[in-house]
Structure 1
């Protein structure tokens, strides 16, 4: 089973709640899931994968609690070819081009850092889905099966 670092970007707590449900499901499947904050936490302990669960704020931006990691990754630019990754992005399609912008930013950056994307990012639209964890949990279980 895999060691997965779980990164969460949340403004009002929805992405955090989804990440908690995903963590429970992945642990029930035998994976080790560690919520991580900061680059050093992501890189230590021999993780196999990174799973990002983030909402979007402002004009398609990452939430404040995920921005420091994003900036540190951009500045230090550590190559992450040894890590697989997945993205769960929460957004609202009524915002047009900025829909799920936080998740898209993380996807783009992790790809630049040579991490290996496992499955297309999951984009959860608040206009269509009242309970995002009901979509995120099965997606995450399938994503982890591919590790």
Structure 2
């Protein structure tokens, strides 16, 4: 099975998560949402999506472009599987993880299936995003079996 760690970031934390996942799980490809278009989502590939929340609850810039393209084109993503990991700051209250939640809502509305737990990293904990992301992805992969 092909696995892609797809990330959307402003500060680099989501990229750190994707790279950490690729180091921990052999064969995982890393892709920046800045380099992706709606055709990136293919059946038979598992997407491990790490998406930050920027500013007051927005998606990072290039993640917003991909989100908008998907929302406009509305491709059929039936058969596409993904897991979602959000990065944010709980001091933003209801806007915490809003970027990842927006992406998650859109993918589900297009027919993609989220697997595993919705992962999260809160900057207020002081924990390393990549360490939290790797622990999350191990749970996701353990849930789908060999």
Is TM more than 0.5 here?
Answer: yes
Corresponding position of 1:114: 111
Match of 1:9 in 2: 8
> Offset at 1:66?
1.1
Which structure 2 residues correspond to residues 132-147 of structure 1 after superposition, within 5 A? 132-147=129-144
Equivalent-residue separation in structure 1 for 2:30 and 2:14 (angstroms)? 16
Q: Which aligned pairs between 1:32-111 and structure 2 lie closer than 5 A?
A: 32-35=28-31, 37-39=35-37, 42-43=40-41, 47-111=44-108
Residue of structure 2 equivalent to 1:22 = 21
How big is each residue's C-alpha offset from its partner over 1:99-142, in whole Å with a ceiling of 9 and x where there is no partner? 01111011101111111110121121111142122211021122
> Which structure is higher in helix share?
2
* RMSD of Structure 2 on Structure 1 (CA): 1.8
Which whole-Å deviations, capped at 9, do the CAs of 1:80-104 have from their partners, x for residues lacking one?
A: 1111111110100001111011110
- Distance in 2 (alpha carbons) for counterparts of 1:19 and 1:141: 13
2:9/2:51 contact within 8 Å kept: yes
Distance 1:62 1:84, change over 3 A: same
Query: Partner of 2:87: helix, strand, or coil?
Result: strand
Per-residue Cα deviation, 1:52-84 (whole angstroms, up to 9, x for no partner):
111111221110121111111101111111111
Q: How many residues were matched structurally?
A: 142
CA shift for structure 1 position 32: 3.9
Provide the TM-score with structure 2 as the length reference.
0.87
Q: How many angstroms apart in 2 are the aligned matches of 1:130 and 1:138?
A: 12
